[in-house]
Amino acid sequence: MTARTAHPIEGVPVAGPDDALGRAPPERPPGPASPASHALLDALPQKVWVLDQAGAVSFANRAAREIGSGHGEPDGWDGAVHPKDRHRVAAARASAIRSGQPYDLTIRLRDASGRWHWHQTDLVPIREGAAVTGWMMTAADVDDVVADNQALEATTNLLLLTHKAAGVGLWDWNMRTGALSLSAEGARLHGLSAQACTITSSAWTGLVHADDRAMLWDAVTRAVTTRTPFSVDVRVTSELGGTRWIQSLGRVLDDAHGMSGRIVGLTLDITPRKRAEQALSTAKEGAEQANRAKSDFLAMMSHEIRNPLNAVLGYTEHMLSRSREPETLRHLAAVQEAGEILIRVVDDVLDVAQIEAGQVALDPEAFLLADLLEGTAAVARGAASRKGVAVEVVRDPATPPMVLGDVGRLRQVLLNLLTNAVKFTPAGRVVLSVSPETGRSGEGRILFAVSDTGIGMSAAQQERLFVPFGQGDESIRRRYGGSGLGLVICRHLVELMGGRIDVASEPGRGTRIWFAVMLPPA
C-alpha cells in the first residue's frame, strides 16, 4: 500500500513523499487529465488542485505549485496553511468528503516569500452520475479585499465608539416599510435599552412627547417635499422616567428611481442646552418685568415730582414780576434756576424710562431746517452770552431747506448737544454745522455736528460718554453738574431715527460730536 503524506490543506492525503503538492501521481487522476486541460489550468491566476475521491492530490496547476516551495518541507505542505486555520480546514474537508457536499472557507496561505495571504478556497465535487469521483479545489488571493474589510470594520467600530463617547446616536428610517433602525446609542437616547434595534414608525411616534409629535412629522414632510435637511427638536421619556430633549438631524436619500426612500441621520442629547435656554428665557423675562416696573415707577415719580415743581416755578415767576426788592429778586432767581435744573433732570429720567420701555415713537412732519437750527441756537445763546461764548450756525447751501422728520426729537438732540458744549466751554465758540452726508449710503441723510473750543475729553472719558449716568468722571460731575443722562437720550433718539452718534475730542482742545439721520426732502 502506498504511504500517505500531508496535503497543504491539513489532513488531505497524497500518494507519497515524492507525490507532494504539484507532482502528478502515476495513476490516472479523476477529472481533467489531458495535457490541454493541464495547460489551461496552468494559465489561471487562481490556485487549482484536482483531488481523487479520497482527497489525494492528482494535479496542481502552476499557481498552486508555488505554495510552500523553497521552505525545505519535502514531506508535506502543512506549513502552507496558517496554524490558526488548519483545524477549520481539516474539519471542513472531512465533512465535505463524508457528505459529498462542497464547502468554501477564507483562510491564510503562505507564499514563496513566506508572507501569509488571505485566500478564498472552494472545494467542489466532481461527479459521474450520482457518484463523486473526485474533487476540485481552488484558492483565490483576496488579501487586499480582506484588508480593506478589516480596515472598514475598524473604522466603523471607531466611528461607533466616537459616536457613543460623544453621545451621538445613528438612525435610518425606511419610508417604504416604516422601519426605523437605531444604533445602540440612538436607542438609548430615545429611552429604549442601549442596544441596536429596529422599531416601527408608530412605535417611534409613541416615544415622542404628545405635544411634539405633530412637529416631528411636519419636519419629515418638509424635508421630503422641499429636499432640505431634516431637523427637529423633540422630547422623549428617558430610561429613568424623566423627560429628555433630543435633536434629530438627517438627510433624505433617493432610491434608484429618484424617489425619496430613506432618511438617515443622527440624534443628539440637547437637554442641557434646552435647560439653559429655559433658564435664560426665565431670567430675561424676569429682567424685563423688573425693567418695566422700574420704568413705570420712574414715570410715576417723574409725574408726581413735576406737578409740584411746575407749581413752584409758576409762583416764583409770579413773585418775580411783583417784587421790587433786589435781595428778594436775587433769591427768587436762584429758586427759579434750581427749579428749572430739577425739572430738566426729571424730564431726562422720564425720557430714559420711556426709551427703555420702548414707548418712544417718532412723529415725522415737514419743517424748515433753518427755523429749527436758529431757534435751537437762540436758546443756547442765552447761557452762552453770560460766559462770552459765541454760538454759530453753519449750513451747507446744498442742504434741503425743507425736510421730513420728527422736529421735536431732533430739536431735543441738538439742544442737548449745544447746551453741553456751552457748559464745557469756558471761552471761545460753539459751532453747529449742517450738511448733506456724502457717500453711496448718504442719500437723504443730513449730517449734524456740534464743535466747541472747550475743555475736551480723554479717551477713557469718551468711552463713558454715552453710558447712563456716565459723565467722564466724578470731578466733571462735581464741577459742572448734570445727571449724565442727556447724551444717553441723544444716542437712543439718534438710533431711533436710523443714525449713529460719535465723538472726537482731546483734553484742552475741544470736542466734536456728530450724527447723521435720515431726513428726506419734503
In the chain, % of residues over pLDDT 90: 21
Determine the Cα–Cα distance for residues 315 and 321; give it in Å rounded to an integer. 10
Q: Does CATH number 1.20.1740 belong to domain 275-356?
A: no
Res 133: pLDDT: 86
Q: What's the average model confidence in pLDDT over 363-374?
A: 92
Q: What's the average model confidence in pLDDT over 321-348?
A: 80
- Maximum average pLDDT range among 58-72, 113-127, 149-163, 386-400: 386-400
- Asked if pLDDT for residue 449 goes beyond 90, the answer is yes
Res 475: pLDDT: 52
Contact 94, 11 (CB under 8 A): yes
- Asked if pLDDT for residue 222 goes beyond 90, the answer is yes
- Asked if pLDDT for residue 481 goes beyond 60, the answer is no
Res 382: pLDDT: 79
Classify strands 243-254 and 260-269 as parallel, antiparallel or unpaired: antiparallel
Expressed in angstroms, the distance from the first to the final Cα of the chain is: 124
Determine the Cα–Cα distance for residues 352 and 368; give it in Å rounded to an integer. 28
More confident residue, 394 or 242: 394
- Asked if pLDDT for residue 81 goes beyond 90, the answer is no
- Asked if pLDDT for residue 391 goes beyond 90, the answer is yes
Res 78: pLDDT: 56
Contact 264, 179 (CB under 8 A): no
In the chain, % of residues over pLDDT 70: 81
What type of residue is 422? Answer: V
Contact 515, 500 (CB under 8 A): yes
Name the CATH topology of 167-272.
Beta-Lactamase (3.30.450)
Helix runs in 85-142, H state only: 86-99
Using pLDDT thresholds of 50, 70 and 90, give the confidence band for residue 483.
low
Name the CATH topology of 37-147.
Beta-Lactamase (3.30.450)
pLDDT in tens, 97-156: 888 888 888 888 887 777 888 888 888 888 888 888 888 888 888 877 776 666 655 555
Name the average pLDDT for the chain. 79
Domain ranges of the chain: 37-147, 167-272, 275-356, 362-518
Using pLDDT thresholds of 50, 70 and 90, give the confidence band for residue 44.
confident
Please give the radius of gyration of the chain, using alpha carbons only, rounded to the nearest integer: 48
**Spatial CA neighbour of 9 closest among 79, 75, 60:** 79
Q: Which CATH code for domain 362-518?
A: 3.30.565.10
Q: What's the average model confidence in pLDDT over 40-50?
A: 81
- Report residue 216 as a C-alpha cell: 416631528
pLDDT in tens, 167-199: 678 889 998 889 999 988 888 888 888 888 999
- Maximum average pLDDT range among 288-302, 321-335, 350-364: 321-335
Environment class of 24 (CB within 10 Å of its CB; exposed 0-12, middle 13-18, buried 19+): middle
Res 385: pLDDT: 85
**C-alpha triplet 144, 146, 159: angle, nearest 5°:** 110
- Asked if pLDDT for residue 79 goes beyond 80, the answer is no
- Asked if pLDDT for residue 71 goes beyond 60, the answer is no
More confident residue, 450 or 129: 450
pLDDT in tens, 465-474: 776 655 545 5
pLDDT in tens, 251-273: 998 876 677 788 988 888 888 88
- Asked if pLDDT for residue 214 goes beyond 90, the answer is yes
Res 159: pLDDT: 54
* Matching fold, domains 37-147 and 167-272: yes
Reduced to 3 states (helix: H, G, I; strand: E, B; else coil), residue 426 is coil
